[in-house]
Structure 1
Amino acid sequence: MTHIRQTVGSRSPLEPEIGFSRAVRAGSYVAVAGTAPIGDDGSTVGPGDVHAQTVRCLDIAERALRDAGATLADVVRTRIMLTDVTQWKEAARAHGERFASIRPATTFVEVSRFIDPAWLVEVEMDAVTADQKPQ
């Protein structure tokens, strides 16, 4: 069976520079790339605030899912990467606000830093939809 492949962008200036998509759908599988807390103006949202940054990451990732024909209900795995894992509860609170009833497999990990030192968190998601065609 041939899978339809769809790429989704988010207008990030890093996408063409690095050569990546915010999300890729292949058949019923949707992968959302590491998503940073970047505002529409290119600045970091919520400087110093893990919860606010996580909310922004989730907003961007959710939009990418929707653009790929998926929803949060289709998410089967999330990865939360933090520069200070001791602040995991703030990221978890934002995650729980979206996923309390969906309950995907979730991993929290600490990383040394991100491309922009103001970013405290990045989020990745994987989803599986009921159909194989982009909607």
Structure 2
Amino acid sequence: MPSESEPEKAVHPEAVRQNIRGTSPWEATVGYSRAVRLGNVVHVAGTTATVNGEVVGVGDAYEQTRVVLGIIAGALSEAGATLEDVVRTRIFVTDISRWAEVGRAHGEVFGTIRPAATMVGVAALIDPQHLVEIEAEAILP
């Protein structure tokens, strides 16, 4: 509990919430946004290589990761952030033995930014053609 001289660390109550829409066919059905900005924090939802309802890079984990990171960059931009503002990524892969392909694409984007990152193997994603899904969190200065 903060002392009387320390303010509570919370988002300012007057912060405006901005929901960022994407092109995922599941956003309306499931009830989520591609990204949400509240104050200076941007949360990007789990993102797959789905463009206009079609999976891109089928069978290619590196290409899917590249596409995912491009979609994330677009959502961040719409929220007023950049990839340089990303402090955290979570990477979900359906075949952990392909971690190097996914990691190479992630490293090409975040090699100098170096957000905290986690990569885990999962049994499946929403579409069997998806090999990777990534979440990101950004904090604007």
Taking structure 1 as the reference length, the TM-score comes to: 0.93
Partner of 2:136: 125
Partner of 2:98: 87
Partner of 1:51: 62
Identity %: 50
User: CA separation in 2, counterparts of 1:29 and 1:4?
Assistant: 11
2:116 maps to amino acid: A
Partner SS state of residue 13, structure 1: coil
2:83 maps to amino acid: L
Partner of 1:67: 78
User: CA separation in 2, counterparts of 1:49 and 1:12?
Assistant: 20
User: CA separation in 2, counterparts of 1:84 and 1:13?
Assistant: 24
CA drift of 1:57 comes to 0.6
Structure whose alpha-carbon radius of gyration is higher: 2
1:20 maps to amino acid: Y
Partner SS state of residue 50, structure 2: coil
Partner of 2:8: none
Unaligned runs of at least 5 residues, structure 1? 131-135
User: CA separation in 2, counterparts of 1:12 and 1:47?
Assistant: 17
2:81 maps to amino acid: A
Unaligned runs of at least 5 residues, structure 2? 1-11
User: CA separation in 1, counterparts of 2:61 and 2:80?
Assistant: 28
Partner SS state of residue 138, structure 2: strand
Taking structure 2 as the reference length, the TM-score comes to: 0.89
User: CA separation in 2, counterparts of 1:73 and 1:80?
Assistant: 18
Runs in 1 of length 4+ with deviation above 3 angstroms?
Answer: none
- The two structures, once aligned, show a CA RMSD in angstroms of 0.8
CA drift of 1:39 comes to 2.2
Confirm whether residue 99 of structure 1 aligns to residue 110 of structure 2: yes
Partner SS state of residue 16, structure 1: helix
CA drift of 1:11 comes to 2.3
